[in-house]
Structure 1
Amino acid sequence: MRRVPSLPGQTRHPALPGHMVVCGDDALAERLAAELRELYRVRVTVVVPSLPGTGTAGTGTERWAAAAALFARMQAVVNRASATDPEPGIRVLQAAVLDEQAFADAGVARADALALVHDDDETNIRAALAARRLNPRLRLVIRLYDRRLGRHLADLLDQAAAVASPGLDPTVLDTSTTVLSDADTAAPALVATAVTGTSKVVQADGLLLRAAERTPPRPGQVAAPGLCTLALLSATANDPAGTEGSDASGQDGPLLLPDEDAVAAATGRGTVVLETVTHVGPTRPSGRLTGRGLPLGSLFSRRLRRSLAGLVLSVLGLAVASWLTTGDHPLHAAYLTLLDLFAIGDPAVGEPTARQVLQLLSGLAGLLLLPVLLAAVLEGLGTFRTASALRRPPRGLSGHVVLLGLGKVGTRVLARLHELGIPVVCVEEDPEARGIPLARRLHVPTVIGDVTQEGVLEAAKVHRAHALLAVTSSDTTNLEAALYARSVAPRLRVSLRLYDDAFATAVHRTLRAAHPEALTRSRSVSTLAAPAFAGAMMGRRILGAIPVERRVLVFAALDVAGHPQLEGRTIAESFRPGAWRVLAVDSTDPGDRLPDLAVAPSHDGTEHYGGLLWDPHLGYVLHPQDRVVLAATRQGLAELLGTHLPDHPSTASP
């Protein structure tokens, strides 16, 4: 363990009320720490690597440079906070290994929550096991890419907490361990920036919430009904010269959770509407093969199948002719025809002329059968050989999405595009990338090559594509690919994954000025994922989040008890425009309440759908024992949890 003295303005005590610990090695740790401190007003300790990590991607030099850069950025954050706040409430430590000694120095033994957001799953798992032994009551938020492993790990850690602390409240166990994936959180937002007209989906606890983006209705046209309006899009959302590329939100910017008056007054603006809520069962892993066997069409081409059918008809015709001309039994006539066909019959010397002619025709058909059988064998072998190979983009492909990068984020984006039925062509430099097996299994056309090299994007048919989605881990690669694609197709819709917000805004404005007729968007994975991680650390059940341009709307399940903004108020009175809105109410007795939000208990011991009442009556009074599902902004959720002063216009008290 290598420790450094506290930076100027850092607190020295190991644990304080509202103390959170964040351990990470990339941008997500930095964004998460800022989210916790600026929005939730809690004290944060950030533990960054002091030596290159093992078992992670990249060379030791690269990992050391990344760790040093992260430490420098966190130091800058502390310095800026110290300049305006005598107690900035944030400190930075360095640790080579996340062991019990490192956690003791960070104050994990008395901390409220610990977030393990390293880019390596194994590092996070080892650290989670050590932290659970040190503090069984600790609220854990773990970043894992493997979703199945994450579910098993959460169950294991919750069980360990119950065994180590028998008196632990069962309601705490429900949120003691949360496993999230930044790729899963950011993938829907990245897809939405590249494809219009798609729904945004939040799936959790047996519920599937679908939010649809709708264009402004034309004069005389009636808007489609929905449960409620979640957001008003910016007035320039469909304008290439708009300001959607930055975080600025003036009067023309996006308006989250508007009231009815704002919706009625916002003519000509698109909306995001909560469209449907359905009950879904547990997600089952898809098998490797969807059927018991491969169809015949996947083995043999149409031309070869036609040739085989013609030969079969010829043999049948020869057998019938032999039966009619020789007077033999039909089976004997077919037998002689097959002998002649395979050239193993005796010559028809001294036989009738009809028999001799049929033998010659059968021999000719046998000569034609040989190359067809050989072609069938070769084509079948070729099909099996190329079954594990990547497809090439079809010649006439158009209107597709070109996806650059098949890493962690790119793999989730590819899966999302495939679920939506959107044609996609992938471009990846590394043939051993994480998403290559998925592209092969889904039969997605893939080009292996460097996107910065000439001819690679042309091979992906970018000149006929609908959009370009660049999600590689390199900002310069994404930018270079976008600039080259725009030179080939000036009207191409471009969405970039960029880390720095200032750089993203500059890129957006430059591309918008150079190509005003095209749409350009930029997103940061860490910025999109940080709100969900921060909400989980606060101990509330964060169901998910949907992006609204460059802002985020969070869905959460809360108990009414302990929240004066909800308790004893009607649904209408609890609604705070621009901050939060109650979407559903569960009035089931807390003792009989089931973990799955989509089901309710019954007297016969079975589970029935309908635990939540969606679109409740505005006059319903919320009781302390009620549980609600609400949509909230990040600032609104922070104020609702009582950890943030209402100094933001969207969260100011009425």
Structure 2
Amino acid sequence: MVVCGDDGLAHRLAAELRGVYGEQVTLVVPPTAGGVPRPVAGRARAASAALLDRMNAARGRAAGRLGGTSAEPGANGRVLEAAELSEAVLAEAGVDRAAALALVWDDDETNIRAALTARRLNPRLRLVLRLYNRRLGQHIEELLDQAASLASGNGPEADASTTVLSDADTAAPALAATALAGTSKVVQTDGLLLRAVERHPPRPGEVADPGLCTLALLSATSNDPAGADGSESSGEQGPQLLPDAAAVAAATGRGTVVLEQVSYSGPPLPPTRTGVPPFASLFSRRLRWSLAGLVACVVALAVALTVVTGDHPLHATYETLLDLFAINEPALNRDAGRQILQLLSGLVGLLLLPVLLAAVLEALGTFRSASALRKPPRGLGGHVVLLGLGKIGTRVLTRLRELHIPVVCVEADPEARGMATARRLRVPVVLGDVTQEGVLESAKIHRAHALLALTSADTTNLEAVLYARSLRADLRVVLRLYDDDFATAVYRTLRAAHPHALTRSRSVSHLAAPAFAGAMMGRQILGAIPVERRVLLFAAVEVAGLAQLEGRTVGEAFRAGAWRVLALDANAPDERRDDLAGDAADGTGLAPVSGLVWDLPDTYVLQSSDRVVLAATRRGLAELLGRRGARDRAGRGTGTGT
């Protein structure tokens, strides 16, 4: 395996491949930035310098760098330093004979250039790319797969798949769900939504609803705000992933994570609105009622004129409108009824002028505010305060709005990546440095439900959380921290300092690395759900060649603590979509067409032609994929495999 990257995700991914899957890994990093986290700007730079030095030293020792261009830290890996991913560097890293290549640089163009070069060097190479641009990623994935198919002659042994992932998309559902502790945990890709919920232990006399299946038993302290969050080092019983029926029945006083719903999550509003006139978005409700009242007055005056004068209704309406706009002749020699109606029409005309002026001004204000940032409305409460609109923050904002959660964003840079998304979703944004006094107050932090600190600077996130704690000691907080060890240390300290408040710390590299590693093993990883401080993976695998699944019933294939079959792809093999995580819309944009069957009986026998969706632990998935991977590597050594 070859991993190329310039930040912590590359190191975490290499460690995942070595420690969990037992693979030989070559890690390619920049000579001056190997192991250095993304830059920390502003006042946070000096405060975090010592932390960065410690992280660099630790990573340098772990990688075994000896000062040259490459080093051999152990039997299962080496580190290669290079300023850019040229063809010569990829060749030196052994891409021409590697099983898989992960390109996780924090730059889409660099990853695309290297992927095109690597595909030319090794058409049978399994590629995993980190791209933020999802639409571009779909096109690149199709292009590279087509190139691999043509170069290999569409051979049945070819396993040169291309997978495009985003650390932002992989981590965003977990971060959004963590902010809403006690509600849904969601793994969402474009056409597939897996929804898991935490449930508290049943009260005496109550019967727990198992949902579709039980994914995990939570630790004994998970429902306690000062609990260990699954830290076995504290001496508490940690979470149990994929328990069997006996373990679920024997567990008392422990919460569960159950699979409750599998459905498509589209935009908050349907593509077309019905029952609301098109001008509803331009004019306020009060203004629309005013216009409706004036129209009713005109109709009433026209009917009254018809009754008084005996004119035709159309002629009466015409004269009423002339009186309304003050362009009719005065009714001096007419009867009293006609004169009174003319005066009333003139009065209604006077009322019409300010209403028309208000309509024009309101429409102009609506157009102007459409391109401006909204401010938090008065009386707002129960919302989520989101700090940072970078790559991660933008994806989390989108997930929260899809779940119909009110959000207020705080961003210091008016040109940040997520500003356009905030305008499009009409989300209130507070511009300012979150470390300055008064900024969080402007975001109504004192009435917020939770705080999500997702800026790119660890110290900024930590400072914002501590300041928010001083304003509200019981506020639920989730902070994104770059290094997983640092995230664990911060979590334990905040938990000890505020035992009655819910605190969660998450490392993006920790959440994203399992999905990238699983994709490198040649299987489609659909997503991951964090269960306390562990990770449960969802993957789509072909049953053929897997002795643990092929020819067994669904019940027999289940292995507690390792993997569990959840769904079956009912489509014929030649009609299956290559990417279950892609958009499965049927053309209407309203529902996915995936062909997945989720209510499989335990007696169903898995055939070699089947493709299934399963939940697995990282080590369980490694066992499933590692055996086949060993056969593939043996085949490559003899020239008979891929």
How far did residue 265 of structure 1 move? Answer: 2.0
In 2, the alpha carbon distance for the partners of 1:376 and 1:589 equals 58
- Tell me what 2:328 maps to: 345
For residues 356-395 of structure 1, the aligned pairs below 5 Å read 356-395=339-378
CA shift digits 1:80-119 (9 cap, x unpaired): 99xxx97343222222221211111211111111101111
Instruction: Report what 2:616 is aligned to.
Output: 632
- What's the offset of the Cα at 1:360? 3.6
- Contact kept, 8 Å, 1:115 with 1:537, in 2: the verdict is yes
Shift of 1:501: 2.7
Render the CA deviation track for 1:221-260: whole Å, top value 9, x for unaligned: 1111333221111111111221117574855211112223
Residue of structure 2 equivalent to 1:604: none
Deviation at 1:171, TM superposition (A): 5.6
Residues 1:309 and 2:296 are matched in the alignment: no
Q: Name 1:121's counterpart in structure 2.
A: 108
One-letter identity of the residue aligned with 2:617: T
Distance 1:625 1:315, change over 3 A: closer
Aligned ranges 1:444-459 → 2 under 5 Å: 444-459=427-442
Partner of 2:588: none
1:3 matched to which residue of 2?
A: none
Distance 1:127 1:412 in 2: 26
Q: Match of 1:386, SS?
A: helix
Structure 2 residue corresponding to 1:255, chosen from 216, 225, 240: 240
Report the Cα distance in structure 2 between the residues aligned to 1:255 and 1:249, rounded to whole angstroms: 16
Task: Point out the more displaced range, 363-372 or 316-325.
Answer: 316-325
Aligned length: 604
SS of the residue aligned with 2:345? helix
Distance 1:144 1:96 in 2: 20
CA RMSD of aligned residues (A): 3.7
Please point out which of 186, 202, 211 is paired with 1:217. 202
Gap change, CA 1:610 and 1:97, over 3 Å in 2: closer
Do the aligned residues in 2 keep the contact of 1:51 with 1:67 (CA within 8 Å)? no
Tell me if the contact between 2:484 and 2:510 (Cα under 8 Å) persists in the aligned partners: no
Residue from 9, 20, 31 that aligns with 2:12: 31
Report the equivalent of 2:379.
396
C-alpha displacement of 1:160? 0.6
Equivalent pairs: percent with the same residue? 70
Q: In structure 2, which of residues 133, 136, 142 is the aligned counterpart of residue 155 of structure 1? A: 142
Deviations 1:349-371 (A, max 9, x none): 44444444444443333233222
Contact 1:75/1:92 (<8 A) preserved: no
Instruction: Give the SS at the match of 2:489.
Output: helix
What corresponds to 1:649 in structure 2? none
Distance between the aligned counterparts of 2:550 and 2:390, measured in 1?
A: 45
Q: Answer whether contact 2:222 2:230 (CA < 8 A) is retained.
A: no
- Tell me the distance in 2 between the aligned counterparts of 1:73 and 1:324: 94
Instruction: Pick closer, same or farther for the CA change 1:113–1:337 going to 2, 3 Å.
Output: same
Deviation (angstroms), 1:456: 1.7
Aligned AA for 2:388?
G
**1:313 and 1:560, CA in 2 relative to 1: closer, same or farther beyond 3 A?**
closer
Q: How far apart are the structure 1 equivalents of 2:217 and 2:186? A: 18
Report the 3-state secondary structure (helix = DSSP H, G, I; strand = E; otherwise coil) of the residue aligned with 2:102.
Answer: strand
Tell me how far apart the structure 2 counterparts of residues 67 and 100 of structure 1 sit (CA, whole Å): 31
The amino acid of 1:237's aligned partner reads S
What's the offset of the Cα at 1:594? 6.8
Deviation at 1:170, TM superposition (A): 6.2
Pairing 1:267–2:252 present: yes
* Equivalent-residue separation in structure 2 for 1:147 and 1:390 (angstroms): 25
Distance 2:139 2:64 in 1: 40
Q: TM-score, normalised by structure 2?
A: 0.84
What code does the residue aligned with 2:111 have?
A: N
Deviations 1:257-296 (A, max 9, x none): 2223322221011111233456x6xx99999974599733
Q: Tell whether 2:394 aligns with 1:411.
A: yes
Q: Any conservation in 2 of the 1:246–1:505 contact (CA below 8 Å)?
A: no
Q: State the partner residue of 1:502.
A: 485
Secondary structure, aligned partner of 1:46? strand
Query: 2: distance between equivalents of 1:70 and 1:338?
Result: 79
In 2, Cα distance between the equivalents of 1:93 and 1:479? 34
Q: Which residue of 2 aligns with 1:16?
A: none
- The amino acid that maps onto 2:620 is G
Matched, 1:41 2:28: no
Seen in structure 2, the aligned counterparts of structure 1 residues 80 and 546 have a Cα distance that, compared at 3 Å, is farther
SS in 1 for 2:329: coil
Task: Find the counterpart in structure 2 of residue 112 from structure 1.
Answer: 99
Asked if structure 2 preserves the Cα contact closer than 8 Å seen for 1:247 and 1:551, the reply is no
Q: For the residues of structure 2 that align with 1:52 and 1:507, how far apart are their CA atoms?
A: 25
Q: Within the alignment, does 1:180 sit opposite 2:165 as a pair?
A: yes
Does the aligned pair in 1 maintain the 2:173–2:188 contact within 8 Å? no
Q: Deviations over 1:395-419 (max 9, x none)?
A: 1221111111111111111111112
Contact 1:245 1:509 survives alignment (8 Å):
no
Relative to structure 1, the CA distance from residue 60 to residue 86 in structure 2 (aligned partners, 3 Å threshold; closer, same or farther) is closer
- Unmatched 5+ residue regions in structure 1? 1-19, 599-607, 645-654
2:118 equivalent to 1:137: no
1:429 corresponds to 2:392: no
Q: CA deviation at 1:302?
A: 3.0
Taking a change above 3 Å as real, the CA distance of residues 597 and 496 of structure 1, as seen in their structure-2 partners, is closer
Q: Secondary structure at the match of 1:231?
A: strand
Q: Distance in 2 between matches of 1:361 and 1:132?
A: 81
| Maintained 8 Å contact 1:245/1:521 | no
Q: C-alpha distance in 1, partners of 2:325/2:607?
A: 87
TM-score normalized by structure 1? 0.82
Task: Work out which of the residue numbers 164, 168, 177 in structure 1 matches 2:151.
Answer: 164
Q: 1:380 to 1:572 in 2, by over 3 A?
A: closer
Change (3 A) 1:317 1:217: same
Counting only pairs closer than 5 Å after superposition, residues 282-321 of structure 1 correspond to structure 2 as 290-291=272-273, 295-321=278-304
Q: For the structure 1 residues 297 and 60, does the alpha-carbon distance in structure 2 shift closer, same or farther, using more than 3 Å as the test?
A: closer
Distance, in Å, in 2 between the alignment partners of 1:103 and 1:350 is 100
Question: How far does the alpha carbon of each residue in 1:308-340 deviate from its partner, in whole angstroms, 9 at most, with x for none?
Answer: 333333333443444444454444443333223
SS in 2 for 1:192: helix
Q: Conserved in 2, the CA contact under 8 Å of 1:209 and 1:276?
A: yes
Summarize deviations over 1:433-479 as a string: whole Å, max 9, x none.
Answer: 22222222222222222211222211211111111111111111111
Q: Which region of structure 1 is more displaced relative to structure 2, 448-457 or 157-166?
A: 448-457
The superposition leaves residues 517-573 of structure 1 with CA deviations (integer Å, 9 ceiling, x where unpaired) of 110000011100000101111112323221111211112233445445455666555
Q: Helix, strand or coil: the match of 1:641?
A: helix
Give the distance between the partners of 1:79 and 1:424, measured in 2 at CA: 45
**Amino acid in the other structure paired with 1:463:** H
Decide whether aligned partners of structure 1 residues 86 and 532 sit closer, same or farther in structure 2, where only a CA change above 3 A counts.
closer
Residue number in structure 1 paired with 2:459: 476
Please name the residue that 1:652 is paired with: none
Is contact 1:137-1:168 (8 Å) kept?
no
**1:534 pairs with one of 493, 509, 517:** 517
For 1:554 and 1:491, the matched residues in 2 are separated by 32
- Structure 2 CA distance for partners of 1:635 and 1:251, relative to 1, 3 Å: farther
Distance 1:164 1:286, change over 3 A: farther
- 5+ unaligned residues in a row in structure 2: which ranges? 67-71, 582-592, 629-642
The answer for the alignment partner of 2:81 in structure 1 is: 94
1:165 Cα deviation (Å)?
Answer: 2.2
Could you say if the C-alpha distance between residues 145 and 68 of structure 1 is closer, same or farther in structure 2, counting changes exceeding 3 Å? farther
For residue 161 of structure 1, report the CA deviation from its aligned partner.
Answer: 0.9
Q: Secondary structure at the match of 1:642?
A: helix
Give the counterpart of 1:641 among 622, 625, 640. 625
